[in-house]
Amino acid sequence: QVQLVEFGGGLVQAGGSLRLSCAASGFIFGNYGMGWFRQAPGKEREFVAAINRVGSGTDYADSVKGRFTISRDNDKNTVYLSMNSLKPDDTAVYYCAAVFFFMRRENYDYWGQGTQVTVSS
């Protein structure tokens, strides 16, 4: 069955860095655009970043542009989110997601369970 499993969350001080990984299985990874989303306490889930099927195109929310980088390794069926210059406002549960064929900001097909990122001030 389809699985998306996130790794790499944790507690970090403001200004620090983290790298999230998401391991995919149960579908043809190279046929899917991948995205990262996050949900902070009391807030709706929001788009963070997306990458196309081959890794040649990316899209970022304005709030993370210049600080976060999304990448993928199709040989390893894994998508990454490198997060630098972290701020307390980045505190959230981070989810990876997959969407067939496209790169976009909504209407994803598959979702992971999420990993907590906490940024202390």
Task: For 98-121, write each residue's pLDDT tens digit.
Answer: 999 989 999 999 999 999 999 999
pLDDT in tens, 65-84: 999 999 999 999 999 999 99
Q: What value does the mean pLDDT of the chain take?
A: 97
In this prediction, residue 19 has a pLDDT band, given cuts at 50, 70 and 90, of very high
Helical segments of the chain, H only: none
Can you give the C-alpha Rg of the chain in angstroms?
Answer: 13
What are the start-end ranges of the E strands in 8-90?
10-13, 18-25, 32-39, 46-51, 58-60, 68-73, 78-83
